């Protein structure tokens, strides 16, 4: 495991702390904005609990990232050691050593896959928690989670929505297509026979891949799929376009296009999201996923802090609202 002192020197840790610090600043600035009476009883306001939970989730994702980084480096070191042993002509072949290396490599790959799934689930929870905070700032009850915010509220005329679209438009597209699609279709609600594999290319990239076997996809679907991928690839900026040889691996192509989905026009984005749900795709690396997630939290919370400074009275602190006893609880009887 990477030591905490080593981890603190990495760029990933710095991204995590920037996101955490923005939430922490928001928390204390909100307390400062309260009247003396409100401040005496601040714990009854749900908004503070929403922010505290978001801070906790940022640190949890950071801890998961640290563990994944350690396992990835171990996984890569074992693979490299095996490659060096096989290509060293002077080495004496050791069958047992090779078997142990394969088992260790497989074990680390399984750890990483499990943590990848946890990363997507925790990331979705953090985005939903961010949405609860935003709901208070917009003083609306219409927004329930990140999906409903992007689908139903982002295009509203509220000043914050306009500002967030202006500053974080690409982030909304990217996070929605990656976190919600991958989590919903391939982890939580998997309804098709997707195959799973891993892609490891050096110390800077480890991805997981979920894709439909061609036998299940069908010949006609495969043909349409290839044609669609080719057209979408052609619509990408030249610097992000894949060459003809790489187009032959459609699963990789979908993953590549999704990583740059914000560069497509809205209509093409919808086509790509629909295709990815049907075919599966290769995820972004866990490093890129965490970078995009933490950077979005940092940027968007900075916008909320600016709004608080300008409009401190327009924020719904969401005070404790005692609800009547539900009908279910009323019917509970002991015999």
For the stretch 299-318, pLDDT in tens is 999 999 999 999 998 999 98
Q: Which residue has the higher pLDDT, 62 or 335?
A: 62
Question: What is the pTM (predicted TM-score) of this model?
Answer: 0.86
Separation CA 42–CA 39 (nearest Å): 5
Phi-psi region of 72 (alpha: psi -120 to 50; beta: other; left: phi over 0): alpha
Helices and strands, number each (H, E), in the chain: 15, 3
Confidence band for 185, pLDDT divided at 50, 70 and 90: confident
The pair phi, psi for residue 319, each rounded to 5°, is: -65, 160
Q: pLDDT tens across 242-293, in order?
A: 887 666 666 678 888 998 999 999 999 999 988 888 888 888 889 999 999 9
- pLDDT given for residue 98 in this prediction: 47
Mean pLDDT over the full length of the chain: 84
Weakest mean pLDDT among 100-104, 157-161, 249-253, 325-329: 100-104
Weakest mean pLDDT among 41-50, 89-98, 117-126, 276-285: 89-98
Contacts within 8 Å (CB) and 24+ apart, 178-181: 178/258, 178/283, 178/284, 178/289, 178/292, 179/120, 179/123, 179/124, 179/127, 179/146, 179/293, 180/124, 180/146, 180/147, 181/273, 181/276, 181/277
- pLDDT given for residue 97 in this prediction: 45
- pLDDT given for residue 246 in this prediction: 66
Contacts of 55 (CB under 8 A, 6+ apart): 20, 23, 24, 27
Weakest mean pLDDT among 141-145, 203-207, 214-218, 259-263: 214-218
Stretch 26-30: mean pLDDT? 96
Contacts within 8 Å (CB) and 24+ apart, 201-206: 202/76, 203/72, 203/73, 203/76, 204/285, 204/287, 205/285, 205/287, 206/68, 206/72, 206/75, 206/112, 206/285, 206/286
DSSP state, residue 236: S
- pLDDT given for residue 130 in this prediction: 97
DSSP 279-325: HEEEPPPHHHHHHHHHHHHHHHHHHHHHHHHH-GGG----B--PPPP
Supply 203's token pair: 């110390």
Buried b (16+ CB within 10 A) or exposed e, 55-93: bebbeebbebbbebbbbbebbbebbeebeeeeeeeeeee
């Amino acid at each position: 495991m990477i030591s905490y002192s080593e981890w603190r020197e990495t760029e990933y840790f710095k991204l995590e702390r920037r996101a955490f610090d923005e939430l922490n600043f928001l928390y204390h600035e909100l307390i400062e904005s309260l009247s003396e009476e409100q401040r005496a009883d601040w714990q009854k306001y749900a908004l503070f609990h929403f922010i505290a939970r978001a801070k906790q989730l940022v640190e949890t994702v950071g801890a998961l990232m640290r563990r994944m980084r350690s396992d990835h480096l171990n996984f890569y070191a074992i693979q490299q050691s095996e490659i060096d042993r096989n290509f060293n002509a002077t080495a004496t072949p050791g069958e047992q050593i090779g078997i142990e290396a394969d088992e260790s490599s497989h074990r680390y790959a399984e750890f990483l896959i499990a943590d990848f799934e946890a990363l997507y689930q925790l990331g979705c929870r953090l985005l939903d928690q961010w949405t609860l905070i935003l709901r208070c700032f917009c003083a609306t009850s219409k927004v329930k989670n990140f999906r409903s915010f992007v689908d139903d509220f982002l295009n509203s005329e509220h000043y914050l929505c306009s500002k967030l679209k202006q500053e974080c438009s690409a982030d909304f597209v990217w996070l929605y297509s990656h976190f919600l699609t991958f989590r919903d279709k391939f982890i939580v609600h998997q309804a098709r026979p997707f195959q799973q594999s891993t892609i490891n290319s050096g110390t800077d990239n480890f991805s997981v891949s979920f894709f439909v076997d061609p036998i299940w996809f069908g010949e006609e679907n495969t043909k349409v799929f290839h044609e669609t991928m080719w057209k979408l690839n052609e619509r990408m900026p030249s610097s992000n376009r894949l060459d003809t040889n790489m187009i032959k691996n459609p699963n990789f192509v979908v993953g590549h296009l999704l990583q740059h989905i914000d560069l497509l026009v809205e209509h093409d984005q919808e086509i790509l999201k629909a295709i990815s749900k049907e075919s599966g795709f290769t995820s972004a690396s866990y490093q890129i996923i965490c970078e995009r997630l933490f950077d979005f939290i940092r940027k968007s919370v900075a916008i909320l802090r600016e709004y608080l400074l300008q409009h401190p009275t327009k924020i719904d602190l969401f005070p404790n609202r005692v609800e009547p006893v539900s009908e279910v609880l009323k019917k509970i009887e002991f015999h």
